Structure 1
Amino acid sequence: MTPLPTPLDPTSAAFLLAENRNMPMHVGGLQLFKKPEGAGRSYTRDMFESMRDEPEIAPLFLKHPHRSVRTGAQLVWRPDEQFDIEHHLRHSALPKPGRVRELLELCSRLHSTRLAWERPLWESHVIEGLRDGRVAMYTKVHHALVDGVSAMRLMASTLSTDPDQRDMPAPWAPRTPTARKPAPAETSLADVPMSALRGALGLTAEAAGMPGALVKTISKGLKNETSAISLHAPQTIFNQPITGSRRFAAQDWPIERLRGIGRATGTTINDVVLAMCAGAVRSYLLELDALPEAPLIAMVPVGLNAKQSHIASAEGGNAVGAVMVQLATDRHDPARRLSAIHRSMKDGKEALSSMTPTQILAMSAIGQAPAILTPIFKMSGLVRPPYNLIISNVPGPRSTQYWNGAELVGHYPLSIPINGMALNITCISYDGKMGFGLTGCRRTVPHLQRLLTHLDDEVKALEKAAGI
């Protein structure tokens, strides 16, 4: 019996309706695997075929959006009755010399193309040809289908800490209660805009006290102090209309190096990540003679222990909010820049910690509104941006993970640039490394890969400033 079409929730529908040729609304991930000992020459082909020949596909990976006169022009999810796994799963090879450069260029092109509505909204590419023998896997999924939390949980469920396990299905296989124990993964904080909008749409009596919190937050914004709302972000090259072409750059650094800087300076690892990004963006804009005098503002998702006594529906007392952090890009000294970022993050967290979870989500939605409404009403470049870029730090598995004996040695996220916000930096921690994924408009953010060099330079500058 064919399942009945199901209506899309408002947020998923919004992601689909906001999409256009210049703004594909899918998220992605690049995973690098080291072949197991004794793997033959056909290992990558065999890996592809085992995923292709999965006997059953989970319903999530079979549905696609549809609307017609019969649905009253309402968007619904409808199962694909002509599902073709070979359209969604591809086997690719890199041109010689098979460097990481060629891999990132391929991922950039793959991430630039929209997913077609008439098919399920996902693709996965098994990629061979890296000269060091590793196998890569690039996957993209529409944001209407899954958010970052779901994507992290899905990734964790397909991996194991056991290098000898060989019965692991493809990511799109159905999950059963008797399936193997999934790899541990922490909650993603990469999807504050979605969570915030859902929270704002669901406001009820739980929002009691919001007027006072709103007045306090706007007051801090007017005074250019850290809060959930920014009113002082300068205009930069990142804050203009974008094209559909993407450029992706990725690299990782040992977490212990970043933690060492934090210990020596009394700051957190997230502060150090933000300082790396701030210094790198500063150097990048200086090269282009495009650094504004005012400091850049980053929207940073944060996890908070909110007052759960005010809201019974809060799970574990954890809440997700957004802080508009001043990146101190007007300061030359890396130590002063890190100190300023630390104070900005601390002030922002303290401001949000006085609110209930519902108020935090609603305040985050208000802070996102200018970024959402500006491109819709085609005001990019005419008004100040609410912030200049997004920087997310997503916790991932802490131990080494495997897929059918292949060791996961790298994981890097690909995000969604939008009109007026051409650069997105997302980091994922995994197995002692912090993987940076930089996604930008190819035309609006030229020579994006230069940011990797500046990130590395900034780590060294921070270590020197900390006396390490």
Structure 2
Amino acid sequence: MVTPIDPTAAAFLLTENRSMPMHVGGLQLFEKPEGAGRNYGRELYESMRDVDEIAPLFLRRPHRSLTTAGQLVWVEDDEFDIEHHVRHNALPKPGRIRELLDLCGRIHGTRLAWERPLWEAYIIEGLRDSRVALYTKVHHALVDGVSAMRLVQSTLTPDPDLRDMPPPWDARTRRDRPPREPDDSGFGEISTQAMRTALGITAEAAGMPGALIKTLSRSVRNETSSVSLYAPRTIFNQKITSSRRFAAQDWPIERLRAISSATGTTINDVVLAMCGGAVRRYLLELDALPDTPLVAMVPVGLKAKESHIASTEGGNAVGSVMCRLGTDFVDPLDRLLDISASMNAGKEALAGMTSAQIMAMSALGQAPAIIAPILRVSGLVRPPYNLIISNVPGPRSTQYWNGAKLVGHYPLSIPINGMALNITCISYDGNLGFGLTGCRRTLPHLQRLLVHLDDEVKALEKAAGA
């Protein structure tokens, strides 16, 4: 069966190159169920491999030829080999989390071949605490980051005794799962979906010229909006290689909530302040901190009924805000308050627009990050922003996969030329898991950012009296 590939998905395929794989990933850590034997990892792998019927999404591969007039289409892989996609790995001794993250970083830097469906899954054992890990990656042309997480979550259940949970690629995977629990810790419910939808919006949307003038006017005055004109050049904003480094850790949401309550800010603001302070410390160590504050692209969700900001559309509006990270402030509380003011100003700017205008302005702000790598001018022009900080809300309650308890959930994302660092978070069971994906060569000692993030939490707690 031949299916056309939409323009956005085709763009993800065509802009991909050896140094810039365009897939998203996820790392999950599981505790073995009670009574699991020594061969549990092998049995888990075999249960994922021995699937009778593969879901159609996982059989698709890209194709173009004279018969398709050179256009990219999806075709079904008639030589599908499950053992190529589902793999079994073990860590070298001593089997620390460090070895696990290093392995995931190396796998994440490898492109998915067009000759096969664009996904892979790895059962990884050998951790010295006997936990088992699952790393998955899916091409961005097939699903976006949020959809990829939801596919993985579709296999989870709050019932520790349920044993009939097939993997996402099994055609039996339940489609009648309960809706995903809402979460109040995320920046927005959609990260890349805003970009995908915005690319299809035309200028006939009502009020678009006015929204454009408003957005650009704020940008020229260096006020927060969907477009940034004042992001400094940093070591993050240069050409990258295909080699990846991955760092991950989580923090209790209650610690972040205590800081937000004590300072009158949001949990989102606290997370951004953690990142801003950590990036400041990291760049100071490398003697590479610019005088002007770094700018992060932050996906946001504007809940009209929960905020006191009027929205012409009602319901939920999604878009992106270019937030100043306060890296020019020494005091962590000053940084947090400046970030909070920047985010509030950005939300207010978006709240006066329709959903179509919000998504179009967000796409405008992100366009230079997409176009610069295509034109090979990354690092030669001022970056539209310095890094991406996004969030994918996850389950609030403890989840299980065929009796195995999920104890860690971390996303891996896509660095691109001119944007060597991507920080993505996912909330789960009272914790907020940070996944830092960066170019191994461009950003030395990336794992130091985890130490700095923890230092920033402590500094914010002390400054806020939380």
TM-score (norm 1): 0.95
Tell me, what secondary structure is at the counterpart of 2:247?
strand
Find the counterpart in structure 2 of residue 196 from structure 1: 195
1:158/1:183 CA distance change after superposition, 3 Å = farther
Q: Pick from 37, 57, 79 the counterpart of residue 60 of structure 1.
A: 57
**Residue type at the aligned position of 1:61:** F
1:152/1:282 CA distance change after superposition, 3 Å = same
Q: Pick from 431, 442, 445 the counterpart of residue 444 of structure 1.
A: 442
Q: How does 1:443-462 map to 2 (within 5 A)?
A: 443-462=441-460
**Residue type at the aligned position of 1:202:** I
Looking at structure 2, the residues matched to 200 and 96 of structure 1 have their Cα atoms a distance apart, in angstroms, of 47
Q: Does 1:29 align with 2:29?
A: no
Q: Pick from 101, 104, 107 the counterpart of residue 107 of structure 1.
A: 104
Looking at structure 1, the residues matched to 424 and 371 of structure 2 have their Cα atoms a distance apart, in angstroms, of 23
Tell me, what secondary structure is at the counterpart of 1:130?
coil
Q: Pick from 58, 78, 81 the counterpart of residue 78 of structure 2.
A: 81
**Once the 2 structures are TM-superposed, how far is the Cα of residue 55 of structure 1 from its aligned partner?**
1.1
Deviation sequence 1:329-367 (CA, Å, 0-9, x none)? 011000000000000000000100000000000000110
**Once the 2 structures are TM-superposed, how far is the Cα of residue 369 of structure 1 from its aligned partner?**
1.3
Looking at structure 1, the residues matched to 333 and 248 of structure 2 have their Cα atoms a distance apart, in angstroms, of 25
**Residue type at the aligned position of 2:152:** M
Q: How does 1:47-196 map to 2 (within 5 A)?
A: 47-175=44-172, 181=178, 184=181, 189=188, 192-196=191-195
**Once the 2 structures are TM-superposed, how far is the Cα of residue 375 of structure 1 from its aligned partner?**
1.4
**Once the 2 structures are TM-superposed, how far is the Cα of residue 191 of structure 1 from its aligned partner?**
5.6
Q: How does 1:258-269 map to 2 (within 5 A)?
A: 258-269=256-267
**Once the 2 structures are TM-superposed, how far is the Cα of residue 176 of structure 1 from its aligned partner?**
6.5
Count of residue pairs brought into register by the alignment: 460
**Once the 2 structures are TM-superposed, how far is the Cα of residue 168 of structure 1 from its aligned partner?**
0.9
**Once the 2 structures are TM-superposed, how far is the Cα of residue 194 of structure 1 from its aligned partner?**
4.8
Q: Pick from 324, 333, 346 the counterpart of residue 326 of structure 1.
A: 324
Q: Does 1:363 align with 2:326?
A: no
Q: Runs of 5+ in structure 1 lacking a partner?
A: none
Q: Which moved more, 1:90-99 or 1:187-196?
A: 187-196
Q: How does 1:235-254 map to 2 (within 5 A)?
A: 235-254=233-252
Query: 1:149 touches 1:188 (CA, 8 Å); kept in 2?
Result: no
Tell me, what secondary structure is at the counterpart of 1:385?
coil
Query: 2:146 touches 2:191 (CA, 8 Å); kept in 1?
Result: no
Tell me, what secondary structure is at the counterpart of 2:209?
helix
- Percent identity reads 72
1:368/1:5 CA distance change after superposition, 3 Å = same
Query: 1:16 touches 1:144 (CA, 8 Å); kept in 2?
Result: yes
Looking at structure 2, the residues matched to 432 and 442 of structure 1 have their Cα atoms a distance apart, in angstroms, of 31
1:244/1:190 CA distance change after superposition, 3 Å = farther
TM-score (norm 2): 0.95
Tell me, what secondary structure is at the counterpart of 1:70?
helix
**Residue type at the aligned position of 1:201:** G
Q: Pick from 341, 344, 347 the counterpart of residue 342 of structure 2.
A: 344
Tell me, what secondary structure is at the counterpart of 2:84?
helix
Tell me, what secondary structure is at the counterpart of 1:242?
coil
Q: Pick from 271, 274, 277 the counterpart of residue 275 of structure 2.
A: 277
Q: Which moved more, 1:34-43 or 1:419-428?
A: 34-43
**Once the 2 structures are TM-superposed, how far is the Cα of residue 22 of structure 1 from its aligned partner?**
0.5
Deviation sequence 1:428-448 (CA, Å, 0-9, x none)? 000000000000000111110
**Once the 2 structures are TM-superposed, how far is the Cα of residue 197 of structure 1 from its aligned partner?**
4.4
Tell me, what secondary structure is at the counterpart of 1:349?
helix
Deviation sequence 1:5-35 (CA, Å, 0-9, x none)? 1110000000000000000000000000011
Q: Which moved more, 1:405-414 or 1:208-217?
A: 208-217
**Once the 2 structures are TM-superposed, how far is the Cα of residue 152 of structure 1 from its aligned partner?**
2.5
Looking at structure 2, the residues matched to 261 and 231 of structure 1 have their Cα atoms a distance apart, in angstroms, of 31
Find the counterpart in structure 2 of residue 415 from structure 1: 413
**Once the 2 structures are TM-superposed, how far is the Cα of residue 37 of structure 1 from its aligned partner?**
1.0
**Residue type at the aligned position of 2:46:** E
1:417/1:100 CA distance change after superposition, 3 Å = same
**Residue type at the aligned position of 2:39:** S
Deviation sequence 1:142-166 (CA, Å, 0-9, x none)? 0000012311321221100100001
Query: 2:393 touches 2:426 (CA, 8 Å); kept in 1?
Result: yes
